[in-house]
Amino acid sequence: MHDTTAIIDADTLSFIRRMKDRQEILDCLHRYTRGVDRFDRDLMLSAYHADAIDQHGVAEGVAGAFVDWAIGWHGQFQNRHQHIITNHTIDLDGDTAHGETYYIFWGENREGPPSLCFGRYVDRFERRDGRWAIAHRVCVNEKVGTFNETALPPEWAAALSSTGPCRRDGQDISYARPLTAGQVQPG
């Protein structure tokens, strides 16, 4: 095994470490969004440290209680939903990082028109025992509203549904490993 520090200069090594930290934090954010959308409690919890606080406005508390509330609320009031993250900035400071991540939320409500929300996750991440996770989150809700769906021609609706239904559990197509032809069951 070769000592890579002798080959890579200090600036490059520092850059690689920062990029590794940034990627691990982005992976944490993606675990959160996938976990909540698939009702995968363990995956969602893996985005938080056990003592983390989440302040979502409509609900707040320690990570486990918040995760249970979020999955319960979405299950009770929505048929399906998506948490989408977009712009993302992170300020690294050793084993602490502060992030701002824009989100879009869409939910097909059980009653009434679909919801559409925009906002930001303002997070303090901490690296503990080599693992980056959320230590404190404030969900800044910028806009909450509804939208009207556009009626599609029947042939388009049939074609779009041919890739299967959205599942909020481990049976969703996104869990298939490996993904192969013939796995999709039309909705």
CATH number, domain containing residue 10:
3.10.450.50
Residue 74: CB atoms within 10 A of its CB come to 18
For residues 144 and 181, membership in a common domain is answered with no
SS3 assignment, position 107:
strand
- What is the pLDDT at residue 122? 97
For residues 34 and 119, membership in a common domain is answered with yes
Structural domain for 183, as ranges: 152-187
Q: Quote the CA–CA distance of 59 and 79 in Å, as a whole number.
A: 20
Q: Which residue has the tokens 């824009």?
A: 102
Global confidence as pTM:
0.86
Distance of CA 38 to the CA centre of its chain: 10
Mean pLDDT calculated for residue range 95-100: 98
Q: Quote the CA–CA distance of 100 and 87 in Å, as a whole number.
A: 8
Beta-strand relationship, 48-55 and 131-146: parallel
pLDDT digits (tens, 9 = 90+) for 63-80: 999 999 999 999 999 999
For residues 91 and 165, membership in a common domain is answered with no
- What is the pLDDT at residue 2? 64
Residue 94's pLDDT band (cuts 50, 70, 90): very high
Q: Is 154 exposed, middle or buried (0-12, 13-18, 19+ CB in 10 A)?
A: exposed
| Torsion angle of the four alpha carbons 106, 109, 114, 116, in this order, in degrees rounded to the nearest 10 | -30
For residues 34 and 106, membership in a common domain is answered with yes
pLDDT, greater one: 48 or 174: 48
For residues 169 and 142, membership in a common domain is answered with no
- What is the pLDDT at residue 151? 84
Number of structural domains found in the chain: 2
Which tokens go with 143? 């806009």
